[in-house]
Amino acid sequence: MGFQSSRARTALGMICIILAALRFSELSWLLPILAWLIALGGIHEMHGLARQRQIEFSAPVAYVSVSALVASGLVAFEAFPWVAFAVIAALLVCVFLEQIALRAERGTLTNVPALFLSVLYVGLPLACALQILRVDRFYFLFVLLGVWSLDTAAFYVGCAIGRHKMAPRLSPKKSWEGAVAGLLGCLIASLLERAVFPIDLSWTQVVELGILFGVVGQLGDLAESALKRDAGVKDTGTIFRGHGGILDRIDSLLFCFVAFYLYLICSGTAAVRVLS
């Protein structure tokens, strides 16, 4: 129970900080700062995973690149795709320039992809999160609470009655029972949020997004597990006592922020909100 209570306290503490920043306009600067700190911590952990496989990409280049990518999330909604693309293109050039400057005869086929993947994996979802926040703070809260409910339901139900393993090689503790509970928990939480908060989404959209988060969030969890298994480690870090590192805590959120951002674009919801 110690591990479970530690996990719950960590999540609750983060939720309280974010809710305070969303509620009080004087604290709104906290969220971009928090996103930046999370990005730096996430890149640090990705660098550690790479080193476990004897892959040595440049940490300074990664820190600067992920900071620039997260900062792109602060621009106007219409400009974000172009700014983000420019940052990603510049990153691609920089990582090859570094290899050329170092006159590296070996490692390009591993170092460059590892650095590029690390920055995109950590930085792009957090930039999307800031864009979602820019459109509507209740959209940001909608994603956050939905995914938190997904993780909580999947964890506790999986621990209690999980019998059928979902992906035993990647994540031995994850079960189909937990996955179903997580999806239902996310869907129910999404519906409750729609009833309680002034979220500008139809009931149909809320159901669609609840199911989307329930699936995509768990894919994000498994994706991070695949990275850890490849590196041969149990957790990406130790910053959260009882629940590993930063990436262990936000793996589901990363994929869901990107999914919701794309949903806003494809459904035209973001355009309506921005124009209004």
Q: What are phi and psi of 112, to 5 degrees?
A: -65, -50
Tally of domains in the chain: 1
Calculate Rg over the CA atoms of the chain. 19
Summarised one tens digit per residue, pLDDT across range 218-264 is 999 999 999 999 998 888 877 766 567 899 889 999 999 999 999 99
Predicted local distance difference test score (pLDDT) of residue 100: 81
Please give the residue range of the domain that contains residue 156.
2-275
pLDDT confidence bin for 275, thresholds 50/70/90: very low
- Over 50: is that where the pLDDT of 3 sits? no
Q: Which distant-in-sequence residues (6+ apart) come within 8 Å of 206 by Cβ? A: 190, 191, 193, 194, 199
Asked if residue 182 has pLDDT above 90, the reply is yes
Interatomic CA distance for residues 5 and 9, integer angstroms: 6
Report the predicted TM-score, pTM, of the whole model to 2 decimal places. Answer: 0.89
- Rounded Cα distance, 118 and 50, in Å: 9
Handedness of CA 83, 20, 149, 232 (dihedral sign): positive
